[in-house]
Structure 1
Amino acid sequence: MEALADRDYFSDHVILKDPYAYFEAIRAKGPIYRIPGSGLVVVTGYEEILEVINNTRDFSSVLAPQGPAAPLPFTPEGSDITPQIEAHRTEFIGGDLLVSLDDRPHSLSRQLLNRLFTPSRLKANEAFITDYADQLVRDAVAKGGTELIKEIATPFVTLVVADLLGVPADDRQLFMDAIDAGPPPGSLDANDLIAQNQPLVIMGTYFAGYVADRRETPRDDILSELSNATYSDGTTPEMLEIVRLATFLFGAGQDTSAKLLGNAMRFIVDQPGLQQRLRADPVLIPAMLEEVLRLEGSTKMTARIARKDTRIGDLEVPAGTRVMLALAAANRDPRRWSDPEAFLLDRPKIKEHLAFGRGAHVCVGAPLARVEVRVIIEKFLEHTESIDLVEEKHGPPDDRSLDYEASFIIRGLSAMHLKLTPAPDFVGAATKPDAKEKRGLFGFLKKREAGPASPTQYSTLETKIGVLLADPAAKAVIDRHFPGVSADPRIGMGKGMTFRTVQKFAPDMFTTEALDAADVELAGLAPQ
């Protein structure tokens, strides 16, 4: 029988759904282990992972999104392969994302973002978080239960960051649909690997329009600050860089924050006496979340590549070596944590866990994740007398059946069905005097009852592309001036923008003269 440590972490669904025994089998071979015949080094030790994360001089983050198992797009040559990495960066999956950047490009991008997630900014956003969490939880409790991941967690974290950034309400459902349709990060399926960037492509098309708009007409939101920010040397970032950052901000934390809520809820439900203790003293919720992050953080691993001949501990690591940093293993390292498998609400120095990484690439959205998950857990505890798993779906407490996603990056449940017993003083959302008003404010849960006023005239400046292409007469005008454009999939992803906005990114394709000529014909049509 094949030894556990000899099995392939990246292709074994059983290990990916429950990786902890595998990590312990690797740890038994030492905190730094070179897998025979693979060229891959696995690091499970807490101090050793800190050593790698903090050594940005010798290690590149370019592998972070695609993981260390995929082959490199080049053959490493010499003791310093930094020039090769940069020459082939676009061939790495997600190689141009913030999480993958190195050196000055990474420092400049972080400078832009670090000023955005300030305590005052998050405090202002907390009012929205609280109201929206209250609405979602009240609706779920009124029904007697919910499927936590898709019905609560994913829409909640998606719309929280949408509100923070200033994404228009009309586009938020489209973003949620794109995320829901996409595969989880780190999925094993080959087709999923190809499709993993698709939600980011769709959102990026929209963010291009938002950034152009915010540069012309700034508003009081983070997206305006980001769109008009300058680097520390006074230079202005290219628009494409801002679009990438905004898209990354929106997309990066969706799955991890949603999964964190599910992972935390499992402890709340099954840890004896925990939910009663938290109800009695909600001040303990932040400490509970930190211990959940240590034991069941949403990110199991990240990756680096040695770009120079270097060392990890006593192990010599040549340039080109791919390194897997098992964050989940480091957070259970017995050399760092006493009784590492146990859940301890008052564990000393708990915030030193590595669930959000550390150093230059520490998760920029960690403060937001802590706030949003804390707030919605407060609401769940406030409005319930008890929370339990539906036994028909997940089995009894002593024999739970929980399905985790088979991802080499993400640790999270695919579904969690909750039974919610209302608190004695619970008042459902449907019976609250301001319920209809709140549904109008948070129109993201359903289509707005009253849409925007009908336009009196079509134009390429004010009418969205989707509206024009939905009207056969207007579509004919567009195709006459821009042959074949209505069938172009790139335009299909930009239906929420106008042709004048798209012109900024494709001036040769959409000239001012052609757009003006189209407007003359469009003005004579009656909008449908």
Structure 2
Amino acid sequence: MTSTGPDVIGRLTERYDHLDAEFVPEVAEVVNGRLRDGAGITRTEAYGGMWIVSRYALVRAVLKDHETFSSAQGVFVPRAPGVPKFSPIDHDPPEQKELRRMMAPPMLPDRIHALAPDVRRLAAELVGALADRGGGDVAEELARPMAIGVLALAIGLSEKAQHEIRELTTTLWRQLATAPDSSAFWPAFAELLSAEVEHARRSPGETYLAQLARRPIPEETLHSIIVSYCVAGHETTMNTISRLLWHLARHPETQQRLRAEPESRSVAADETLRRWCPTDRFTRVATREVTLGDTVLPAGARVMLLIDAANRDPRRFPDPDTFSLDRGNSHQHLSFGLGIHACMGSGLARLELRAVLDELAGHGDYRLAGEPRRRFENGRHIVFEDLRVTFGQ
């Protein structure tokens, strides 16, 4: 069993390594908090050397300044050679701006508004099936199909892609940082992407992917756009839904309040995103010498942003480790990013979370049927396994 004792905490605080075997979710929270409440910026020699930034104001400053803190060398470190860039997150302007423009249509407010009835219908089907059976694994039977199903509605994913995307994404994250090259995992993903492009081109419909695939866009760019939607479009929402249900299943009094106060459900969604960041540890590279806080970073310095730590910074969020529906600034979390790389899908994610909460409010209380397993994917995403609940009347 992995230790979470003081020796492990101290070692990983001193030499931060998000891929260390003992860097489990419980350890990460403590280490992240110690770094934030210490200097706020510290140095690790892991993976060629990085500056770890963990305070809210400092992380926010980096996110907003894309000219000084570039994404063009890739935001995931380490990264197996041969993996193509993801769009638009691994690019700077002007390429980033053009890629974001191409990716924007399914995430525009009018499109999300049009999708809302179908999103609510899917939530009703998934929650209803679980409640009728008296419970089940809400990570596998609600969070995953909800996230992938809504993504399919938004962009037009094929049935084949919907069935394969989760396994391929899991394999991608398992090997992205540790494989000697991409040959062990990327070809299978590329095969799915090629099939998806061909399916979209043959489709008689006018889905986003069908329209995109008919444009004179290089195949590599199409793959980069689709894989970004496939990965980011389902994983973050899936993990946030799981975290929300994990918390609520342990707190029936919060379930009852959400049932009685519909207006608090949007707060619950943002508070979940604040308290448990769905995707932590992005990096940037300094384009020039820059002073951040009291630290001078040299040109070329790689900076790792601990968004989880920033979202729990008591300077911004008093009593930060407490999940509170009465917190007035939950929406100021950094889980959706800021600046030119702010998450395009934030509106759709909020719609999904609200749809799930609205549907759950129509059923009885649910409680954990056992302690779920939590693990990191690539040291960045906390995934739940065997998140079983039972429903009351």
TM-score range, shorter chain: 0.7 to 0.9
Report the identity percentage. Answer: 22
Query: How far apart are residue 329 of structure 1 and its match?
Result: 0.4
Tell me whether 1:17 sits opposite 2:25 in the alignment: yes
Q: Report what 1:190 is aligned to.
A: 178
Structure 2 CA distance, aligned partners of 1:228 and 1:118? 21
Residue 263 of structure 2 aligns to a residue in which SS?
helix
Tell me whether 1:107 sits opposite 2:86 in the alignment: no
Tell me whether 1:203 sits opposite 2:192 in the alignment: yes
Aligned partner (choices 305, 311, 314) of residue 291 of structure 2: 311
Q: Report what 2:140 is aligned to.
A: 150
Aligned partner (choices 61, 64, 85) of residue 54 of structure 1: 64
Q: Report what 1:212 is aligned to.
A: 201
Q: Report what 1:387 is aligned to.
A: 366
Change (3 A) 1:348 1:413: same
2:298 is aligned with what amino acid? P
Pairing 1:319-398 to 2, within 5 Å after superposition: 319-382=299-362, 384-390=363-369, 393-394=370-371
Q: Report what 1:248 is aligned to.
A: 228
What is the total number of aligned residue pairs between the two structures? Answer: 381
Structure 1 CA distance, aligned partners of 2:180 and 2:381? 14
1:219-250, CA deviations, whole angstroms, 9 ceiling, x for partnerless residues?
33222444467xxxxxx644542342133213
Change (3 A) 1:95 1:181: closer
Structure 2 CA distance, aligned partners of 1:336 and 1:315? 21
Structure 1 CA distance, aligned partners of 2:17 and 2:236? 20
Tell me whether 1:221 sits opposite 2:200 in the alignment: no
Q: Report what 1:83 is aligned to.
A: none
1:42-87, CA deviations, whole angstroms, 9 ceiling, x for partnerless residues?
00011111111122112221455532x569xxxxxxxxxxxxxxxx
Tell me whether 1:27 sits opposite 2:36 in the alignment: yes
The structure with the larger Rg is: 1
Residue 324 of structure 1 aligns to a residue in which SS?
strand
Structure 1 CA distance, aligned partners of 2:145 and 2:329? 32
Tell me whether 1:130 sits opposite 2:120 in the alignment: yes
Pairing 1:225-244 to 2, within 5 Å after superposition: 225-227=211-213, 237-244=217-224
Query: How far apart are residue 406 of structure 1 and its match?
Result: 5.2
Query: How far apart are residue 255 of structure 1 and its match?
Result: 1.5
Structure 1 CA distance, aligned partners of 2:256 and 2:280? 29
Query: How far apart are residue 27 of structure 1 and its match?
Result: 2.0
Tell me whether 1:416 sits opposite 2:387 in the alignment: yes
Query: How far apart are residue 408 of structure 1 and its match?
Result: 1.5
Give unpaired runs (5+ residues) of structure 2.
1-6
Change (3 A) 1:185 1:21: farther
Report if the CA contact (8 A) 2:147-2:234 is conserved.
yes
1:45 is aligned with what amino acid? R
Report if the CA contact (8 A) 2:274-2:333 is conserved.
yes
Change (3 A) 1:35 1:29: farther
2:374 is aligned with what amino acid? D
Query: How far apart are residue 417 of structure 1 and its match?
Result: 0.8
2:37 is aligned with what amino acid? A
Change (3 A) 1:295 1:386: same
Give unpaired runs (5+ residues) of structure 1.
72-90, 230-235, 395-400, 423-528
Change (3 A) 1:98 1:198: farther
TM-score between the two structures when normalised by the length of structure 1: 0.66
Residue 98 of structure 1 aligns to a residue in which SS?
coil
TM-score between the two structures when normalised by the length of structure 2: 0.87
1:288 is aligned with what amino acid? A
Aligned partner (choices 157, 180, 195) of residue 167 of structure 2: 180
Q: Report what 1:120 is aligned to.
A: 110
1:207 is aligned with what amino acid? E
Q: Report what 1:6 is aligned to.
A: 14
Pairing 1:454-493 to 2, within 5 Å after superposition: none
RMSD: 2.7
Aligned partner (choices 112, 124, 129) of residue 139 of structure 1: 129
Greater RCO (Cα-Cα under 8 Å, separation 6 or more): 2
